[in-house]
Homo-oligomer: A and B are copies of this chain.
Amino acid sequence: MIYFDNAATTWPKPEEVYLEVDRMLRNCGNPGRGGHRMALEASRVIFEARQEIASLFNIKDPMRVVFTLNTTEALNIALKGVLKEGDHVITSSMEHNSVARPLSRLKEQGVEVTIVKGSEEGKIDPEDIKRAVKKNTKMIAITHASNVTGTIMPIEEIGNIAREMNLIFLVDAAQTAGVLPIDVEKYNISLLAFPGHKGLYGPQGTGGLYVKEGIELVPLKEGGTGSRSELTLQPDLMPDKLESGTLNTPGIAGLKEGVKFVKKVGVNSIREREVKLTELLIEGLREIKKVRVYGPQKIEDRVGVVSITVEGMDVGEVSHILDREFDIATRAGLHCAPLAHSTIGTLKSGTLRFGIGYFNTEEEIIKAVEAIETIIQKNF
């Protein structure tokens, strides 16, 4: 299997991730909910995972890292925990449904939403965001990179605007955590939602949210936290406040190993490798007549997500042939981001998406380009 669906979930994971999940599953208790050694070991491992993530994103206090089921949950906690009736939020037309759909719900509840439109390359102009700020603006919510076009957003500039205007800055790092350097201090990020199972190479069922000190969120869920059990009100203590119920301990243990792997290889080396592979893919695809490549022209403006359409063919069919005839895994459709497709003009057709990961090789890229050529020539 040649795997190009890394934008959905990375595969394979480093061997240490598999081993650590298995070790914890075979040995772990319920963290924070018992004083015996197995429960303490679970607590220790979870804390270590918080520390690894904190250091990766330059988060000073690991207790401000909250574990969630996935990025979507983190984004829902962030958006619904902050925005109330009468508040205004600025977002972009390049967002995934994990931002767009909660915002649609909040709109029904009286939250005002401004959607700043991206260019045909999926780029957002920070000046457009600045211009959208109003008296009641509370938050800017933006993806770090589009999951459709791979476009990297100018989050440092946007972070500066948020700082200047004293706005809460929420960043969706679904496509960038572990792939691009992220520094919550430098970028002035107030809330960072990240997946565990993509660029951090952890298992599915993991994700998280960084919450800057001073940002008070209304929890999405209340329940047992193992702390202040005498209260029938949710405790204010972080991360407990936002982490009700039993955590995915084996998953988080695996994520810890994924993050260690990312740090060992180095985000910059991972980035370098992905840039090289992405460039090779785009160059190859651009030479094929009938293929249209979306997203930024400049390689430095994009992550390893490449969307294409093929003239005269349905992208679902192309993806299916790639799988069946060439053992190449891609993804076709709207990638849960209809506004982004409207922006680049592919809402009807969808796109065929290649999601490149650290474990892909140049040989795989070459095979993929050849496969697309063959499919077009044979007109399957």
Tell me if A224 is interfacial: C-beta within 8 Å of chain B. Answer: yes
Tell me if A296 is interfacial: C-beta within 8 Å of chain B. Answer: no
Q: Which residues of B contact A119 (CB under 8 A)?
A: none
The oligomer's copy count stands at 2
Contact string against B for A residues 317-340, beta-carbon threshold 8 Å, 1 for contact and 0 otherwise: 001101100001111111111110
Cα distance A12–B331 in the bound complex, in angstroms = 38
Contact string against B for A residues 266-309, beta-carbon threshold 8 Å, 1 for contact and 0 otherwise: 00000000000000000000000000000000000000000000
Cβ-defined partner of A30 (8 Å) among B9, B101, B249, B347: B9
Q: In the complex where A224-B336, A330-B34 touch, is A195 in contact with B246 (Cβ < 8 A)?
A: yes
Contact A204 B71 (CB under 8 A): no
Contact string against B for A residues 205-245, beta-carbon threshold 8 Å, 1 for contact and 0 otherwise: 11100000000000111111110011111100000000011
Cα distance A84–B222 in the bound complex, in angstroms = 17
Cβ-defined partner of A223 (8 Å) among B1, B21, B101, B332: B101
Cα distance A230–B341 in the bound complex, in angstroms = 9
Q: In the complex where A8-B33, A339-B232 touch, is A76 in contact with B25 (Cβ < 8 A)?
A: no
Q: In the complex where A9-B246, A26-B18, A232-B104 touch, is A226 in contact with B336 (Cβ < 8 A)?
A: yes
Give the one of A25, A70, A96, A225 with max B CB within 10 A.
Answer: A25
Tell me if A100 is interfacial: C-beta within 8 Å of chain B. Answer: yes
Q: Which residues of B contact A5 (CB under 8 A)?
A: 29-30, 33-34, 36, 38-39
Contact A248 B37 (CB under 8 A): no
24 A–B contacts, CB within 8 A, in A order: A9-B30, A9-B246, A11-B38, A18-B22, A18-B25, A30-B204, A33-B336, A34-B329, A35-B316, A68-B69, A69-B69, A71-B245, A72-B246, A76-B223, A102-B223, A104-B233, A195-B246, A197-B246, A203-B250, A204-B248, A204-B251, A205-B250, A206-B248, A229-B333
Task: Across the A-B interface, give the 6 residue pairs with the lowest CB-CB distance, nearest first.
Answer: A205-B248, A72-B245, A224-B336, A72-B223, A101-B222, A36-B329
A binding-site residues for B, Cβ under 8 Å? 1, 3, 5, 8-9, 11-13, 17-18, 21-22, 25-26, 28-30, 33-39, 68-73, 75-76, 96-98, 100-105, 195, 197, 203-207, 219-226, 229-234, 244-251, 254, 316, 319-320, 322-323, 328-339, 347
Known: A69-B248, A101-B222, A229-B336. 7 other contacts (CB 8 A): A9-B29, A21-B25, A29-B329, A36-B329, A71-B246, A98-B222, A102-B221
